[in-house]
Structure formats: structure tokens, C-alpha cells
Amino acid sequence: MTLPTSANPPHRGHSPRGKEDNSHLPTILCLHGAGTNGTVFRLQSRRIIQALQHAFRFVFVDAPFEALPGPGVIPTFEQLRPYFRWHCDENAVGEFNIDLADVAREREQVRSLLTAHLTRENGVEKEEEELQEEEAAAQRSGGGHSDGHNRGPGVVGVMAFSQGTRVATGLCLDPELGRDIHFAILIAGTFPALHLSSTAASCSAAIGSEVIANATDGVLRGDSSLATGDRPDATKLVYGRTLRDGSSESDSSSVSSFVPDEPTTSSSTPLSSVTPALCAPRQINIPSVHIQGTFDPWAPESARLLDEYYNDQLAVTIQFRGAHQVPTSPKDGSMIAKEVLAAWERSNGLTHRDYSGGGKRGCH
């Protein structure tokens, strides 16, 4: 089988349209699963967006490589082609028609794509002359300042689903790109992280590459033992509690979002050059919200992602009645919104009122 390698232009991204200007709100960067796209993820996460639309601006990114549709995508999203995937890792070599050079190129393309989005959303590329023009236009219209104080603080968080959670984890681990990420929302996470640099990827390969390969192979082959084997329990308490919504409304018309990951974890740095000091473990010390379906066969992967990368004292797990999908009931959306706002406040001491201007409207 050959993985498609055509790249999507790095400028593509989607933000929900609305009547109100939300450019002053902090931004959450959203990364979809394999075999879907940003538009599909926006529809899948509509309840979360509705519950937080007065507190955050959501920007959905299309991954750069075209892919076949993931399971469950057709026929619901048949009209929303093309579909995309994130980068492959070294485990794809041998399984698909791809080599280490391809892996390195793909990882670099994903890094460039995310860098472009972060740069644009954070306003880094604006020249002083452009800012002065916006300032003058805003004052003429009585709209106040149009600089960073009015357009918001840029990207402050990341929300991801399935394969996207691996990229989001790599983003949080990146010392350059992850420095402005204050919290993470991880829906139906999978393991391991998809790093954005060759050194970090080589560390992942050097530390337990056999375990990673076996786990990935098992998932790809539908090995049901992975859901019940010797893995960390997906329902364990983190951040003092696991939130369970046993009575959650099951949305029979929910948008299907079952998309297993393609093999990924890249490396272009020879393993022999990776030293223990270079590969010292790095924990992600930001608040994180982990959202997990009670019937998700990849639940152990989600638990392992949390255990191996995130500070469990800053994490909370929300369980909802569902499988490998984004929760779609209003009740689940409200519960998630409450925890996301708490994570945002906890991350930097600010309250969402500083940017929403409307209190807790998004929580109800």
C-alpha cells in the first residue's frame, strides 16, 4: 500500500463563522484525526465550540497530506473531500512505500504548517506600519485599539482528536513552538507523540521502539487485546478526579468520527547518535483535559499518552458514553467547557472574562 504524499498548502485553516467579531478572543488551534479534515473536525466538535464560543476562537487546520477517508467518514462526510493525515514515523518504513527521507520531509512539512499558523495567529509577522494602519482605522471607526490588546493574545491552547492528539503532544513538547500553548484538550488520544523535530523523534525511537512498534502494529491490525491488555487503566483518577457522565445523552444522530491512526513517529537522526542526556524525559507541565469514550477500543492508548507525557497533577479525564469519537451531546459539551475554562484560568491566572467580555455565557 502506498501512502499519498501530496501536500496541502500551508495557509489553509478554518474558523467557525459567526455574526459577532471574535478576533479579540484567545485562539485554540484544532488538529483533526487521520482521514478527515478541519471542516469535518469542526462539525464533530460543534457542541464544544458552542459551549465555548464566547471565550475562545477556534481555528481548524488541515493536515498537509491527502489520505483515504477514515472509517465512519463515508457517507456522512462524503461531500467534504479531500481528506488528510499528519506525518508518518519510522514505523511506516517497511509497512508502506516510504523511507526515512520521506519521513523527515513529512515531519518538516507539518512543522512548517504549524509554524505558519502560529505565526499568523500570534501576529508575529505584522510589520509596524501595518499595525499603525489598523490602529488608525480602528480609532476612526470608534473601535478602540486594533493591536494585540484588541485582537486577543493569539494561540493559547490546542484541541485535537485521535491522530491529531499525537501531533498536539509533539507540539506541546517542542521548546520553540510549544512555548505559547497554555493548555491542551485531547479527545480520544492515541500513542505515541508525533514529534516535530528529528532529535525528539529519535529519542522516541531509541526509548522503547519495540514497544511502540508492537502497539502500532496491533492497532493497525485491529488487535482487540490492546484494549484489555497490560496497559495503564484509562479510568484512573487524574488531577484529583475522573469525571464520568454515565447518564450522558447518547446522540443517535451524532456525527461519526471513528478514525484509527495511521502509523507515525518520525526520525532522521541515527539512533546511535542519541545519548541518554539528550533524551532526558520531558514532562508537559500545562493543564490538560483528556476526553474519553467509555467504549473506545483505543482507551489504553489515550491513558498511556497521558501517563508518559503529561503531568497528572494538572490533568483531568472526562469520560462520556461513546466510542472513538468526539462527544456530541449538549450535556457533554457543557461539562467539557467547564473544565477547559478551569484549565485556562489555572494555566496563567487569567479568567475568561478578561477576553470574552460576557461572563460565563459559554458554559451553559
**Residue positions annotated with a catalytic role:** 162, 296, 324
Cell triple for 81: 473531500
Cα–Cα distance, 360 to 140 (Å, whole number): 31
CA 82, 85, 90 angle in degrees (round to 5)?
A: 150
Q: Residue 228 CB: number of other CB atoms within 10 A? A: 10
CA 287, 27, 160 angle in degrees (round to 5)?
A: 60
* CB distance 354 to 45 below 8 Å: no
Q: Which residues contact 269 (CB under 8 A, 6 or more apart)?
A: 198, 199, 201, 202
* CB distance 196 to 170 below 8 Å: yes
- The alpha carbon of residue 179 and the mean position of all alpha carbons in its chain are separated, in whole angstroms, by 15
Cα–Cα distance, 107 to 193 (Å, whole number): 12
Q: Which residues contact 86 (CB under 8 A, 6 or more apart)?
A: 31, 34, 63, 64, 65, 110, 163, 164, 166, 167, 194, 264
Cell triple for 153: 493574545
Cα–Cα distance, 11 to 134 (Å, whole number): 22
Cell triple for 89: 514515523
Backbone angles phi, psi at 204, to 5 degrees: -60, -40
Measured CA distances, 254 to 36, 49, 228 (Å): 16, 15, 26
Among 242, 239, 257, CA closest to 319: 242
Cα–Cα distance, 193 to 163 (Å, whole number): 9
